[in-house]
């Protein structure tokens, strides 16, 4: 999926930059530069997914999943830098006298909107299915393309409608594209950074963990439940309460069953560390 994104974004970047330069449209060129940045973003995501798929080893007992999350953060930071560059490029020619852009530039933006709509839909679907922060970040990146292309299209249409009054609209449309990219970059960077600092998931995920644990015979309660995301899955730390009169062997068997049940019933749980507590 990431490689497909690279191919599509690369083709759209060449199309929009070429058509934008030929037509003299700043907003189309700006949107093309944003698509060129998508090639790097998708490449980063592909690398993150490739590394994250490696099995755990002696130096990485929790696996390599954090590389996938880290690649999502890199995508977010890349979006911010790309947005700043687009804003600068768009306003650098605003005070220069030039002819209105050619109307055929509109078609490059329409093709981009259609292609990115399809691509972002697939990435959102598989990103959420795999619980991949990097793929979801890349899907948001494509969603930004749709919004930015729409903004560029609106600005270009305004300039073509009345060049004498709205000639600068094309430049400001490019600037708007840059602002949209910056905003989405901040959003993606924040979400992935929260995962990297082990932000706890919501009750919609912790609740099923407790329910499964409580369904194991011998478990009288769940005292603590922590979870942290490591790539596509979560590692869980669980404190369960059992009869204080049980032997160590019996308590260990309950803990083993809790771990096995959680990994079997919740496919997004990578592993579980179960700590036994006496209940009174």
- Pair (137, 214) in one structural domain: no
Residue ending a domain, choose from 174, 196, 218: 196
Continuous H helices in 131-272: 133-161, 163-166, 169-196, 203-214, 248-265
- Pair (192, 210) in one structural domain: no
Can you tell me whether residue 235 is helix, strand or coil? strand
**What would the pLDDT profile of 19-72 be if each residue is shown by its tens digit?**
888 877 777 887 787 777 777 777 777 777 777 777 777 777 777 777 777 887
- Pair (49, 152) in one structural domain: yes
For the segment 75-96, the average pLDDT, to the nearest whole number, is 78
- What is the band of 212 on the pLDDT scale with cuts at 50, 70, 90? very high
Taking the model in full, what pTM does it have?
0.66
- Pair (55, 102) in one structural domain: yes
Percent of the chain with pLDDT over 90: 12
- Pair (253, 163) in one structural domain: no
- Pair (149, 188) in one structural domain: yes
Decide if 148 contacts 85 (C-beta within 8 A): no
Decide if 23 contacts 104 (C-beta within 8 A): yes
Distance between CA atoms of 115 and 6, rounded to whole angstroms?
12
Nearest Cα residue to 36 out of 66, 69, 73, 81: 81
Judged on CB neighbours under 10 Å (0-12, 13-18, 19+), 154 is middle
- Pair (257, 158) in one structural domain: no
Mean pLDDT comparison of 16-20, 66-70, 96-100, 242-246, highest-scoring range: 242-246
Q: Which of 18-27, 219-228, 231-240, 257-266 has the lowest mean pLDDT?
A: 18-27
- Pair (13, 102) in one structural domain: yes
Residue ending a domain, choose from 196, 215, 244: 196
Distance between CA atoms of 263 and 147, rounded to whole angstroms?
40
**Domain holding 265: CATH number?**
3.30.70.1350
- Pair (133, 270) in one structural domain: no
- Pair (102, 227) in one structural domain: no
Q: What are phi and psi of 136, to 5 degrees?
A: -65, -40
Higher pLDDT, 16 or 212: 212
Percent of the chain with pLDDT over 70: 95
Residue 212, domain extent: 203-278
**For the chain, how many residues are written?**
280
Residue ending a domain, choose from 156, 173, 196: 196
Domain count within the chain: 2
Can you tell me whether residue 251 is helix, strand or coil? helix
- Pair (80, 136) in one structural domain: yes
For the segment 103-108, the average pLDDT, to the nearest whole number, is 84
Residue 103 backbone zone (phi > 0: left; psi -120 to 50: alpha; other: beta): alpha
**CA distance readout (Å), 149 to 183, 206, 261, 276:** 15, 39, 48, 56
Per DSSP, 201 falls in state P
Round the average pLDDT of the chain to a whole number and report it: 81
Q: What is the pLDDT of residue 43?
A: 77
For the segment 271-279, the average pLDDT, to the nearest whole number, is 90
- Pair (69, 15) in one structural domain: yes
Q: Which of 93-107, 115-129, 212-226, 243-257 has the lowest mean pLDDT?
A: 93-107
Distance between CA atoms of 62 and 122, rounded to whole angstroms?
29
Residue 97 has pLDDT above 60, yes or no: no
**Domain holding 156: CATH number?**
1.20.1510.10
Decide if 56 contacts 140 (C-beta within 8 A): no
């Amino acid at each position: 999926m990431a490689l497909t994104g690279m191919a599509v974004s690369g083709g759209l970047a060449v199309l929009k930059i070429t058509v934008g330069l030929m037509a003299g449209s700043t907003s189309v060129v700006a949107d093309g530069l944003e698509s060129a940045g998508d090639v790097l973003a998708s490449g980063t995501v592909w690398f993150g997914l490739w590394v994250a798929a490696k099995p755990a080893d002696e130096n990485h007992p929790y696996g390599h999943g954090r590389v996938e999350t880290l690649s999502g953060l890199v995508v977010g930071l890349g979006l911010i830098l790309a947005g700043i560059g687009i804003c600068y490029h768009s306003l650098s020619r605003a005070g220069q006298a030039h002819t209105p852009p050619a109307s055929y530039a509109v078609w490059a933006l329409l093709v981009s909107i259609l292609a990115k709509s399809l691509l972002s839909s697939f990435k959102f679907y598989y990103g959420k299915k795999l619980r991949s922060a990097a793929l979801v970040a890349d899907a948001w990146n494509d969603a930004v393309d749709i919004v930015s292309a729409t903004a560029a299209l609106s600005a270009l249409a305004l300039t073509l409608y009345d060049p004498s009054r709205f000639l600068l609209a094309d430049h400001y449309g490019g600037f708007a594209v840059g602002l949209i990219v910056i905003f989405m970059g901040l959003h993606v960077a924040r979400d992935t950074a929260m995962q990297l600092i082990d932000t706890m998931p919501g009750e919609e995920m912790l609740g099923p963990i407790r329910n499964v644990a409580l369904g194991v015979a011998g478990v009288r309660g769940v005292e603590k439940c922590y979870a942290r995301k490591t790539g596509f899955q979560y590692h869980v730390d669980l404190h369960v309460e059992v009869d204080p009169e049980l032997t160590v062997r019996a308590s260990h068997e309950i803990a083993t069953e809790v771990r096995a049940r959680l990994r079997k019933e919740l496919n997004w749980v990578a592993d579980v560390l179960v700590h036994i507590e006496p209940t009174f």
